[in-house]
Every structure is written in structure tokens, then in C-alpha cells.
A and B are shown apart, each in its own frame.
Chain A
Amino acid sequence: MTGAATVSNCPVCGAPVEPGDQFCEVCGTPLTEDAKALGVSAGEPVRGAGSAGPEEAWAGAPQSHSTPTAPAGPSGRTAPCVRCGAPPEAIDVDGYCTVCGLLQPGPRDHLELDLGWAAGVTDRGRQHPRNEDAFHLELAGPAADYGVVAVVCDGVSSSVRAEDASESAAIAAATVLAAVVGGAGSLADATVHAADAANRAVMALPWTPTEQMASPACTLVSAACRLGQIAVGWVGDSRAYWLGPDPADGIRKLTVDDSWAEAQVETGRMTEGEAEADPRSHAITRWIGADAPAIDARVITMTPALPGRLILCSDGLWNYASSTEDMAKLLDSQPPDATPIELARSLTSFALTAGGHDNITVVIIDLPVPRNEPTPIQDTEQDAQESTEQAAEQDAEQKGMP
């Protein structure tokens, strides 16, 4: 076979090609020398991360990738297959190598964002082929206000497009929160609105119903901070912890999982140990997505008197330190002078070493001493209409483990 213009089938996927076609219409493989030299493809745009955030704040934003100079394949990749070494143009739009079939590492497999006093790390883990966790972290408002917004979402793996659900939700929620943190509105109200926005974003994702997979869905935990005030909101089983300046004070778990196990414990049907041992323990009772039973975020606000560390994480981390005591021990074992990015990396490594059974996401925010008059810690749980009884009644609508 001398010239690509004479082939009748794509050499990569076997789809028929017309004489004169520059690219295979099915897998996007360049068919002519010209097309190969162009380094562009007729395929779909890159799916998933990289195009993620509207702002550079997102760790997967293009700044973390050098400008492609090598020819990119239909997937927009510039690296050869990690297993068989096939050239980048052999990677199809879905990210599979068209020679050996392996799904290539995605740009979201490991992402880090270091903003100094706030940082986040997300990792695919060792067992899942994709990272369906997503986080968004950005500074908002005047620097002197120490405004920051963080959102961690964990895609439900039994749902379609889980990785797109988590990413869309994180961006949508963070956009709402950033506008309020930079302004004067109520952080608690913004937190509820942010979860609504996340839900709308996930519901807007096009998807094809299948008998095997649920509609796109994810969890959400958010933090909005300004002038020493903190509002944390959540839907699902991603968590937030508060770590005071004195390790002797221990840590506080700010969230209550919307999970089957937690519902059993809260209603007194089971002890924590019994519930954890049940195969249903990780099924979540509330989530973000089209068929969610209720998406009103549960919100907790606080105005700590002393500086401290806010930790947001997905269950890929807390699975290995589920009880508050174990989490306290884990944090105690970390170097005391670790910066947020160092701590986020270290906790991620811990989860990977422990097995990395799920995607792992950790966001650490160091909140400084507030400039305003310190007030004692005041917690108000708002929007508590989602009572534990209701959560327990939702057993029938449980989702799979995120």
C-alpha cells in the first residue's frame, strides 16, 4: 500500500475511508502525510479535564501542560501509548489505544493546585481506571479578606459520565460561591444556591439512558470562607474537617455523611461498627443529579476564634480513617510544619499506600487569624429539613458507592 489516499479502510479502526479523506471519520486517525504533519485532528475535542475550569484556578487548566508541539492524535494527545508505545495519533477520541486497547492515563489522573495557604490534590488511586473525583479551588475577593472557595465532588461510579458530573458540579458550585465570597452576601445562602447550581449543571449533561447505569450523579462538599467566616455545605458522603491550632484539641468532623451507614447510626438502628460492616454502608442516600431525592445542601457555618485548617476530602481518603479518632491519628502523624500542598500530597500518598481503592481528593485551606474581633465558635446548622429520619427513609433510593 503506497499512498493513504488509496486505502479503503482505516488502518487503525478498520472503518471505511473515501479516497481523498484526510482523517478517518470514525477514530480520527490522520490518513495522509499532510494530515499527520498538521498535528491536528478531525476528531472530537478533548473530553474531560484540561478544558475543565473557566478560570486558571483549576489545577487541570492548560498552564499545567506545555503547548503541544508534537503531532496530536484524535484525542489531542501528544504522548505515545503508555503500554505498547503506539504513537499519539493511535489514541482514539475515547482515550483508548487503537493498537493495544489500553485506556490511556487521563489528564485528571493526578492533579495538584498550590495557591500557598490553600492547596488541593486529586488522584485516580490504584483501582479505578478513571478519576471521577473533581475539585475546584480559587481565591476570591480582595486578598485582605482571605476569601477562598473550595468544592470537592465525587462522581457516582454506577452512573454514566460520572467524571463529567463531578467536574461540572464543582465548577458550577464554585462559580456561585466565588461571586458571593467576593461580595457581601450570606455565605450560608450562597452555599445552598451553589448546590442548586451544581445540580442544574449535572442535569444539563446530555446522556443516553442505559439499563445498567444511572443518570449522571456525584457528591459535593463545599467551603466558602471570607474574613474568618466559614460556610460548609454538603450533599452525599464527601467530608469536611476542622483542625484547630492545638493538636490537643483534636479535630472536628463538620459534615454528616448522607449514607446508609450514617442513617442507621443516627436513627439508632445500628452501632457505627455494625453499620460500617454492612455491605450497604457506603450507599449514599443523597446526591447531586437528575434522580436525586432532594438536593438541598446541609450547611454548617462557623466563625472560629483561632486560626486553623479546613480539610475537604472524598471517601478515597477517609475510607482509610473513617472514624474521627483515626482521622485525628492520621493528621497527628503528619509533619507539623507541612504546608497545605505538602499535607494534601502526604494524605493522598497515605491513601494510595493503603490500597488506593477509590479516587482520592484532598483540599487543605489554612485560615488565618481573622482581623475582626474574635468570637467564640458558633455553629448553626441551617436548612436542616433533611432530617436523619428522612434520610433513613430514603433507603429505597440509595445510589451505589461513589
Chain B
Amino acid sequence: MTTFTAETYQNEYLAEGASEVNAVVTVTAAGGGGTAQPTTAAEIIIVDISGSMNYPATKMRAAQQATSAAIDCIRDGVWFAIIAGTKLAHQIYPAPGTMSPSSAESREEAKQAVAGLQAQGGTAIGAWLALANELFATLPPSLNHAILLTDGKDESETVDELDATLAACQGRFQCDCRGVGTDWVVSELRKVASALLGSVDIVADPAELTADFAAMVEHAMGKATADVALRVWTPQTATVSFVKQVAPTIAELTDKRVPVNDRVSDYPTGAWGDESRDYHVCVTVRPGAVGDEMLAARVSLVVDDQVVSQALVKAIWTDDAQLSTRINRAVAHYTGQAELAQVIQEGLEARKAGDDATATVKLGRAAQLAAASGNEATTKLLSKVVDVEDAASGTVRLKSRVEDADEMALDTRSTKTVRVTKTAP
């Protein structure tokens, strides 16, 4: 049985008249044993087989191998299906409209179907997801997870069609997205992953697909609790400015708000294994008098509509500047990590648009933030796009030649954060 704990990290002291309350809430799930009952989990693998997958031919073969490896990782009893995508969605295993429980035999049949795939046609990600949604709907409530692999732009349908499908799929299943090669669009796949509470990453070299696919399925199999929501209560005169996951990755939740009543809203966080995540909650309140203490937010974890843990976010007004000017380390750290992700994305956009001045400033700030926070992975990715002259001051020069794959890797991985060691503010 998984137990959840929630703990608040904040400086609750505010200066007179201040109205913005910031807190990092760390949620930890433990004791789940890392496994769901097999029959309550479902996995669908969606493979792009558009014509471009043949260029080079190694890409299609790698996708087939990776899918086979992923199939091997599906535990016995887990319901699964394989979808091949062109401008239409084709169910290649099992029989159309059904899902099959995983067994040595069914996995072998599925792998044979994958081996027979031929690349041809267009790309319509929305159509693929719509079929996955239909298949998941044939099962009783389960831990529904999908993997989507594509190598190109979503060009066989309109943006509105994709958006409508994403809206229909939200809350029904989670989807981790992978782009292979460099002809796909980071922002497009990020939108899909964000809507479906999944990750997005680039697999530049098709040879790396197999390990990545296996890892994703292993990770999905480790989830024990479905549909966990972060419930935020605020007082009548307060408003939630934002709620975002800040570790292990930045994921904006503010616009995923589901109102429960006037003062209470739920923010979906998907399925949980034994893991820990950090959330940054920012609430705007009506300032109190010096000496007043106020409950600015009550943050709870909700599973099956039951509150399983909660943390309090407080505000205390003081005229003691020593107290009110301290910034909690966790809040400061994650504010920096969120800015890091933002300036990387803005910097790369400016670079693409030919605005080198803006790109240099933004990516310089990124280098500074990444170095200061010890985010070595991001520092390394940045160094392939800019020459860092002085990280402390954020002085960088744009590289004249940048590999597409490096730029896309920096973009997709900009949201990965490093955790903070939390101590007193």
C-alpha cells in the first residue's frame, strides 16, 4: 500500500503589505512495492511508420527493434496493444478494437507483427492517440500508459484536430513521447507530452532507441497508484497564481486546473510509483496586518477522491526585515530552474528567428543559472550550442555551427531540474 507524505518548504514571513506567498511542497510516495497488480495496468506502443522512417532505412529497423524490446518488458497480465501510425492509425496487434493480456505467447505474436511493418504514408499523431484512447476505453479503470514514437511533423491533420484529440485523451492515459532523428518538431511533441502528463525526449541516434523504450516501459510498470491529484484550497480572497511541478522536471499545472468548488481546485499529477516530486505553489493573498498569520493554501494529495496527505502554506506578516527578506532555498532554487528552462526555450527560438542578440542574452543567462545551481546536464547541453566564456557573469558566444540534434536535445531537456538540498530559509 502506497503512503503519501507532503511537506512544505517556505519562508512564511512577509513584509507589511506583501501579498505573494511562495512555497515548495515535496510529495513523496513510498511503500507501493513499485508494482501495480498486472491486470490493472495497460500499455500501448504507438510507432510512426510514415514514409520518412525509411530515410535512412536504419531508422525503421531501429524502431522495430525498440518496439520489440519494449514488448519484452511488459509484465505478464498487463493489457497491451501495438498501433502503427501513418495519416491513419493501424492496429497491428491484437485484433482491431481489442487489447491482449501480456504473456510469452502474446508478446511473441506482437513482435512478429512489428517485424512485418513497412514504412509508407503520412503523419497524423492525433489519429493515433484517438485510437489508443478507444482501446484503453475497452478496459476497466487501469493504469493506462502509452509510448509514442515519431520522426516527423504532424502534417496529415490540422492543429485543431490534434488539440481536440488531446483534450479528449486528457486524464484517460499518460503518454511518453520520443522523437527520432531531427525532422520532428520539439514544441509539437512537448505539447502532446504535457497534455498527457508524459515526458518528451530526442533519440537522435536510432541505435539508442531500444534501451530507451525498454526503460520507459520498465518505468511505467513501476507505477502503483493511478490518477493522483494535487488539491489546493485557498481562502476566499486569495487566488492561485500558479502551480507547477518543479522536480524532477518542470511541468506547468496551472492550466490543468479542475475546479472542485469556489475555493478548491484539483491539479492532475498522473500515476505514481515509489518516488518524490516537488511542486511550486504561488498564491496571491490579501495582505494582513503585522502580526497576523493566515493559512494561504492547504495542499493535499487526493487518490480516488480521498485526501491521503496534506501540507499547509502559511503567511505571517512582520515588520522584521530580517525575517521577511529571507528567501527559502527551495523556492529560490526552483524559481531559478524554471527560469533556466524558460530562457533556454526563448533563447533557442530567438536563435532560430535570427535574433542573435536576444539569443546570446537568454542563453548567457541560462549558462549562468545552470552553473550556479549545479545543473551539470544542462550545462553540458548548453556548451554544444554556445561557447561559455564566463558562466558566473553569463557571458557566452553563439556557436556558428550547431548540430540540429544538439539544439533539439537542449530544447527537450531544458525542463529537467536538479533537486535542492532543503534547509532552513
Residues of A within 8 A of B (CB): 8-9, 11, 13-16, 26, 84, 92, 94, 96-103, 124-130, 158, 210-213, 279, 357
Contact = CB atoms under 8 A, between A and B. Distances in A.
Nearest to A84: B236
A3 to B, nearest CB: 16
Interface stretch (B75-83, B199-207, B305-313): B305-313
A353 to B, nearest CB: 15
A127 B323 CA distance: 12
16 contacts: A13-B264, A14-B264, A15-B300, A26-B307, A98-B235, A100-B286, A101-B235, A101-B236, A101-B285, A101-B295, A127-B290, A127-B320, A129-B292, A129-B316, A212-B424, A279-B322
Nearest to A96: B295
B288 interface: yes
B10 to A, nearest CB: 9
Most chain B CB neighbours (cut-off 10 Å) among A96, A98, A127, A212: A212
B261 A9 contact: yes
B138 interface: no
Nearest to B5: A208
Contacts of B422: 211-212
Majority SS at the chain A contact face: loop
A100 B234 CA distance: 8
B264 A101 contact: no
Interface in B407-425: 422-425
Nearest to B322: A279
Interface in B223-273: 231, 233-238, 260-261, 263-264
B7 interface: yes
Contacts of B291: 124-129
A94 B261 contact: no
Given A99-B235, A212-B424, 5 more contacts: A16-B302, A98-B233, A102-B293, A125-B291, A129-B316
Contacts of A16: 302, 305-307
B228 to A, nearest CB: 14
| 5 A-B pairs closest in CB distance | A14-B264, A101-B235, A129-B293, A103-B293, A96-B295
A97 B294 CA distance: 8
Contacts of B9: 211-212
A129 B314 CA distance: 11
A158 B424 CA distance: 10
A210 B263 CA distance: 28
Contacts of A15: 300, 307
Interface in B170-216: none
Interface residues of B, number: 40
A213 B314 CA distance: 15
Contacts of A101: 234-238, 285, 294-296
Interface of B: 7, 9, 231, 233-238, 260-261, 263-264, 285-286, 288, 290-296, 298, 300, 302, 305-307, 310, 312, 316, 318-320, 322, 422-425
A212 B290 CA distance: 23
Given A9-B261, A11-B261, A16-B307, A357 B320 contact: yes
Contacts of B285: 101
Contacts of B305: 8, 16
B236 A99 contact: yes
Contact of A96 (B231, B294, B319, B320): B294
Most chain B CB neighbours (cut-off 10 Å) among A14, A96, A99, A125: A14
Contacts of B302: 16
A100 B235 CA distance: 5
Given A103-B293, A127-B291, A13 B320 contact: no
Nearest to A124: B291
B290 A126 contact: yes
A210 B7 contact: yes
B192 to A, nearest CB: 31
A158 B11 CA distance: 12
Contacts of B307: 15-16, 26
Given A14-B231, A14-B233, A94-B312, A103 B260 contact: no
Given A99-B235, A210-B7, A14 B295 contact: no
Contacts of B318: 127
A211 B234 CA distance: 25
Contacts of B316: 129
Most chain B CB neighbours (cut-off 10 Å) among A127, A130, A213: A127
Nearest to A13: B233
A145 to B, nearest CB: 42
Contacts of B7: 210
B237 A100 contact: yes
A104 to B, nearest CB: 10
A51 B79 CA distance: 58
Contacts of B231: 14
Contacts of A158: 424
A124 B291 CA distance: 9
Contacts of B237: 100-101
A103 B261 contact: no
A222 B261 CA distance: 52
Given A14-B261, A14-B263, A103 B320 contact: no
Contacts of A98: 233, 235
A97 B261 contact: no
